[in-house]
């Protein structure tokens, strides 16, 4: 059995090399930018997400500074993402029944209030761990509506022909902001404290709200009073398609492996490598750099036929990269590994999202993107919470190594399911072409 598994991994590694030989067509990668509304969206997202990453890094550092606890670091990430897991079906239903831009604009506006309140509490030295956890839950509730809302906007902005480009470029923007935001956060926290990062984030949401208001494509309610309009019908649609379950399961495994890395990053940056808040920002920025490279290349794809290989190879690469990070004793070697982690996790997430949105009917778009956000964002809280709890007993390196094993096992399992999955994707591509 061990020999068989080694053979499968070797075959997948060779496939990875073949897939990455041809450089992406950069002109095709950026074709979604031909659309005015997407250009507006991209501008607002870049500003807003840079502020969000500044707040994320500053919040992790604030909790670490207040408690020096791996457990509470994990609990903070859990508090931010758990509402996405619990409330995303409601968010998806709202997106399918109310104007999508309006749902996103309301969520972004309420996020301004959350950021400003956290900034005030921190600046006045009134902030406690309870405040941080409660405000993290507040942001998580908003994300349960904001994430499916933003994901559902793409097809209206660019059409299905440029959907992969739009989703991939959105991931590139997310990760470009991951380079900009954490790097700035490390500097700002060191110079002025966490409160300034939170305040900057509050102002950054204004850019997204303004861009949403300037868009031209008409808002409409996407589900009628027919049988397809309920939340339970969305679950039924998903459960009747085993290939969707397989795809979502792979994304869940990837993000279960990614969660411990995200939660324990401050402990690695300061507790192990002694690089402080600036070292934390640089590590997260390096991860974002790798992710941008991966998703820009993915954006050049016009069809969905190669996306199953993207999912498989990304999961395998994630497993190897996490193994290297867990065993590393050098900050600079770990820094070199971070782009591979970012490349793998965001390429798989963007590939799975593109595949999902290319095959689902529009009346289910909000609910299916909500379910996808449950396994992508919603998988993070449990792995983060478990990582914080277990790291205090077994050490952070052992937990990252366990996460690597989860990813490698998922990659091997998906390899055995690949023939049937490829056949299904080919059938769906033919349907989409018609």
Q: Which two tokens stand for residue 57?
A: 């890094």
Domains held by the chain: number: 1
Whether 387 is in a domain gets the answer: yes
**Reported pTM:** 0.73
| CATH at residue 184 | 1.20.1250.20
Q: Which two tokens stand for residue 23?
A: 């450089």
Whether 223 is in a domain gets the answer: no
Whether 386 is in a domain gets the answer: yes
Q: What is the pLDDT of residue 367?
A: 83
Whether 12 is in a domain gets the answer: no
Radius of gyration of the chain (CA): 20
Torsion (CA) 147, 261, 391, 138 in degrees, nearest 10:
-20
Whether 224 is in a domain gets the answer: no
For residue 273, report the phi and psi dihedrals to the nearest 5 degrees: -95, -10
Whether 126 is in a domain gets the answer: yes
Per-residue pLDDT of the chain (434 residues; tens, 9 = 90+): 444 444 444 444 444 443 444 455 566 677 888 889 999 999 999 899 889 989 988 998 898 888 878 778 778 877 887 888 888 888 888 888 888 889 999 999 999 999 999 999 999 999 999 999 999 999 999 998 998 888 888 888 887 778 888 888 887 887 778 778 877 888 888 889 899 999 999 999 999 999 998 988 766 555 443 444 666 777 788 888 888 888 888 888 887 888 788 778 878 887 788 887 778 878 888 887 888 888 877 877 767 777 888 888 888 999 999 999 988 888 899 899 999 998 898 888 888 888 888 777 777 788 888 888 777 776 666 777 777 778 878 888 888 898 899 889 888 888 888 888 888 777 766 665 55
Per-residue DSSP letters for 72-128? Answer: HHHHHHHHHHHHHHHHHHHHHHHHHHS-HHHHHHHHHHHHHHHHHHHHHHHHTT---
Q: Which two tokens stand for residue 223?
A: 């589900």
Whether 16 is in a domain gets the answer: no
By C-alpha distance, which of 395, 392, 388, 390 is closest to 76? 388
Between CA 129 and CA 241 the distance in angstroms is 43
The residue segments making up the domain with residue 268 are 24-215+230-433
């Amino acid at each position: 059995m061990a020999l068989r598994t080694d053979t499968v991994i070797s075959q997948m590694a060779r496939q990875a090399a073949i897939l990455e030989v041809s450089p992406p067509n950069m002109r095709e990668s950026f074709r979604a930018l031909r659309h005015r509304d997407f250009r507006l969206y991209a501008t607002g997202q870049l500003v807003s997400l840079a502020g969000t990453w500044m707040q994320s890094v500053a919040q992790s550092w604030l909790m670490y500074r207040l408690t020096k606890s791996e457990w509470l670091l994990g609990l903070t990430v859990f508090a931010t993402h758990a509402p996405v897991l619990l409330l995303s079906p409601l968010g998806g239903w709202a997106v399918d029944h109310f104007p999508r831009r309006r749902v996103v604009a309301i969520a972004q506006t309420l996020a301004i209030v959350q950021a400003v309140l956290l900034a005030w509490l921190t600046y006045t030295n009134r902030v406690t761990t309870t405040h941080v956890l409660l405000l993290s839950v507040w942001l998580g509730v908003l994300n349960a509506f904001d994430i499916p809302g933003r994901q559902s906007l793409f097809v209206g902005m660019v059409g299905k022909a440029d959907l992969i480009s739009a989703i991939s470029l959105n991931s590139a923007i997310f990760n470009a902001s991951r380079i900009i935001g954490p790097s700035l956060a490390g500097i700002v926290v060191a110079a002025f404290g966490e409160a300034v990062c939170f305040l900057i984030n509050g102002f950054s949401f204004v850019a997204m709200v303004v861009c949403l208001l300037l868009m031209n494509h008409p808002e409409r309610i996407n589900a009628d009073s027919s049988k397809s309009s309920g939340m339970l019908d969305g679950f039924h649609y998903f459960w009747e398609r085993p290939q969707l379950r397989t795809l979502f399961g792979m994304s869940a495994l990837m993000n279960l492996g990614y969660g411990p890395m995200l939660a324990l990053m401050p402990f690695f940056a300061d507790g192990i490598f002694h690089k402080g808040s600036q070292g934390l920002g640089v590590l997260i920025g390096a991860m974002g750099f790798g992710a941008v490279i991966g998703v820009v290349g993915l954006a050049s794809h016009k069809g969905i036929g190669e996306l199953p290989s993207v999912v498989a190879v990304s999961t395998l690469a994630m497993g190897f990269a996490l193994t290297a990070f867990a065993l590393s004793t050098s900050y600079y070697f770990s820094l070199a590994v971070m782009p591979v982690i970012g490349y793998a996790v965001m390429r798989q997430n963007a590939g799975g999202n593109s595949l999902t949105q290319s095959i689902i009917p529009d009346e289910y778009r909000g609910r299916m993107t909500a379910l996808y956000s449950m396994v992508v964002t919603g998988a993070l809280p449990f792995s983060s919470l478990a990582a914080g709890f277990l790291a205090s007993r077994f050490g952070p390196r052992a937990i990252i190594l366990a996460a690597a094993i989860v990813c490698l096992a998922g990659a091997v399992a998906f390899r055995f399911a690949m023939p049937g999955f490829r056949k299904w994707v080919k059938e769906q591509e033919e349907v989409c072409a018609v």
